Amino acid sequence: MTAQAPVHIITDSSCDLSEEVTAGLGITVVPLEIRFGMQSFTDRVELSTADFWTRCRTSEELPSTAAPSPGAFAQAYQRAADAGASEVVVITLSGDLSATIEAAQQAASEAPSGLTCHVVDSRTVSAGLGLLVIAAAELAATGADGSQIADAVRASAERVRVHAALDTLENLRKGGRIGAAQSLLGSVLSIKPLITVTDGRVEPAGKQRTRTRALAHLVDLVATEGPNISVIAVMHADCDDVDDFVARIAPLTDTEPRVMLIGPVVGAHAGVGTIGVVFITKE
């Protein structure tokens, strides 16, 4: 693990960053809880991403999620202070999707003496959050202070674009992230729903009759924005066709796509088969 900078970056496990990435950049990840019926698991600690997707394919129960406790963030803040951090920048998934940011803020109000906490609502999730967190960690490594990093994250958050194709809206409907009417429509017509994250909320963005057409739509979105994309990621829910999809979008931008496996937090709501593109525009 790299040496900690005076400013320590903390996020939550909806960021979908691999352990290799977070360890390499010195990022602390506070886990959410994953539930299958009466069973509860700490994300990444008691339930790996691989085990989660295996369980999703075999369980009759749809998974759900719960925000971390303030105590989980308090422990992260204490560890940062013990490691010599003078500031922490805490970047969470959208406050419209989870109470995670409230837990982070509550813990920040009782932070260790001498530790300044900057809590930032990313207004996004999954790879969108992950890309912001990576940028924050890289900025921290240059010696930027907490206020500068938090301001940069907020500015970049306004330029994050998240587009995804789902196999079903049932997970989102059950989790309360999208209306029941859209879920029924998708189920009855066997369509492939398209969603986007707009101003921190999951919104329907159309539908396609087949997965082929749904993925072609995502490719078209990248092609349209290509010259204006500064960084891009492909997120997928353990999809066999992800390599082919990445090969289609890679030539459309000046930056190599980062491929990210959707973890339990986002996967619980997106469902098996989800694939998406996330990018930050230059302006």
Q: Specify the number of domains making up the chain.
A: 2
Tell me which amino acid residue 267 is: G
Residues in the chain with pLDDT < 50?
1-2, 180-181, 184
Residues 6+ apart with CB under 8 A from 265: 12, 13, 14, 16, 32, 34, 43, 65, 93
Domain assignment of residue 231, given as a range:
160-281
CA 157/CA 57 separation, integer angstroms: 33
**Two tokens at 150?**
């938090």
Looking at the structure, tell me whether residues 120 and 254 fall in a common domain: no
Point out the domain boundary residue: 157, 181, 202: 157
pTM for this entry: 0.93
Looking at the structure, tell me whether residues 73 and 177 fall in a common domain: no
Q: Helix 146-157 to helix 127-141 angle, to the nearest 10 degrees?
A: 150
Cα–chain center distance at 215: 20
Looking at the structure, tell me whether residues 202 and 222 fall in a common domain: yes
> According to the model, what pLDDT value does residue 1 have?
41
The enclosing domain of 99 has a CATH number of: 3.40.50.10170
Point out the domain boundary residue: 123, 139, 157: 157
Report the residue count for the chain. Answer: 283
> According to the model, what pLDDT value does residue 176 have?
57
Point out the domain boundary residue: 157, 190, 205: 157
206 belongs to a structural domain: yes
pLDDT in tens, 68-91: 999 999 999 999 999 999 999 999
Looking at the structure, tell me whether residues 92 and 142 fall in a common domain: yes
> According to the model, what pLDDT value does residue 184 have?
44
> According to the model, what pLDDT value does residue 181 have?
42
**Two tokens at 144?**
């930027």
